[in-house]
Amino acid sequence: MSELDRRIFLKLGAAAVIGTTLAPGITLFQAFAQDETEGRTSSKDRWGMVIDTNKCTADCTECTAACRTENNVPLFGDPRYDGHWIRKVTVTPKTDGAHSRSLPLLCNHCEHPPCQHVCPVAATFTREDGIVMIDKHRCIGCRYCMIACPYKARTFVFKNTEKWSNPDVPKRGKGVVEKCTFCAHRIDKGQIPSCVEACNKSGEKAMVFGNLNDPNSEIVQYIREHAPKGLREDLGLEPKVFYKGI
């Protein structure tokens, strides 16, 4: 379908839908939901991450700081509203108070993402390479996805902010939901996520990032050797961030 055809089709469809408020717009949906990243991503890739909680230390915040700068994640000076794409968490087994672990928590880019299932306007979508993304132009800010994500990986933009550290990543205005993109803009340039880069450079080298579909990649080797686990695997979402040592 040519671009013009598609537009006319959409307009006609729109009129019909508004007219009846009902017509099942499945076909419309399919026409509309064409992957905006087409051409840049490939279904041959499946990006994933491993975090070695034995290496990660409690006082290190290199990854979270790097993410904030890279992705313009807003800070409002009020912990209830601050954006979080990656956060440091300390976990202590209830039965063994001495055995504390520190680890970063981020979007798991679930293979079966409930955030995407519940999104009423299909603003949340999965790229061909498995990265779960939000189309900030389509998100209506209903926050159903925040209710559905079991990892609290999503935050809402509660107010506008003027801070904008990285022009490569578009700013989100108030009223939409945002979350980690595995630094998709960097991956598309052949780079690794900025949290991983920061951890390698000045942190504890606790993160491994790579292509889960490539049997020779460092991450696949690592997973074979250490068998790290996803969080709440019982929920069946098949998270693509794995943790060693918890």
Partner 1 sequence: MAKGKITYSTIRGDSPGYYALVCVLGALSLAGFGSAFMMFSQGHYITGMTNAVPWGLPIVIAIYLIGLSAGSLVLSALSSVFGKTEFKAFSRMASLLAALLMISALISIVLDWGKPERILVPFFSINPRSMFSLNGMLYSAYITICFVYLWAMFNEKEKLVKIIGFTAVFWAVLVHSGTGAIFGFVGARELFHSPLLPPSFIAAALSSGTALMIMVLYFTFRFTGRKLDEELLRRLGFYLAMFIIVVAYFVFIENITRSYWPSNYAMQKFLLLSGNKYSLIFWLGMVGCGLVFPFVILINPATGKSVRWILVASALVVTGVLAERYTIVIPGQVLPLEIFPGMNVTSDFQDGQINDYSISLAETLYGLGLTSLVFFLYVLALKFFELMPEEAVIASDIPDTSGTGKN
Instruction: Report the interface residues with partner 1, using CB under 8 A.
Output: 10, 13-14, 17-18, 21-22, 24-26, 28-29, 32-33, 76, 78-82, 84, 87-95, 105, 114, 117-123, 138-144, 146-152, 155-160, 174-177, 231-232, 235, 246
Count of residues that interact with ligand SF4, criterion CB under 6 A: 28
**Which C-beta is closer to ligand SF4: that of 178 or that of 216?**
178
* Residue 143 in the binding site for ligand SF4 (CB under 6 A): yes
Coil, helix or strand for 68? helix
* Residue 153 in the binding site for ligand SF4 (CB under 6 A): yes
Residue 82 interface partner, choices partner 1, ligand SF4, none, CB cut-off 5-8 Å depending on type: partner 1
**Which C-beta is closer to ligand SF4: that of 114 or that of 203?**
114
| Degrees to nearest 5, angle at CA 165 with 135 and 110 | 35
Residue with tokens 């603003």: 123
**Which C-beta is closer to partner 1: that of 13 or that of 188?**
13
Whole-number Å distance between alpha carbons of 144 and 177: 10
Taking Cα atoms as reference points, which of 215, 201, 243 lies closest to residue 49? Answer: 243
Would you call 158 exposed, middle or buried from its count of C-beta atoms within 10 A (0-12, 13-18, 19+)? middle
DSSP code for 240: S
* Residue 127 in the binding site for ligand SF4 (CB under 6 A): no
Tell me how far apart the terminal alpha carbons of the chain are, to the nearest angstrom: 51
Least CB distance to ligand SF4 at residue 173 (A): 13
* Residue 199 in the binding site for ligand SF4 (CB under 6 A): no
Tell me which of 74, 83, 104, 113 binds ligand SF4, using CB under 6 A. 113
Taking Cα atoms as reference points, which of 172, 175, 194 lies closest to residue 184? Answer: 194
* Contact present, 124 and 132 (Cβ < 8 Å): yes
Binding site for ligand SF4 (CB under 6 A): 107-110, 113-115, 118-119, 121, 123-124, 132, 134, 139-145, 149, 151, 153-154, 177, 179, 237
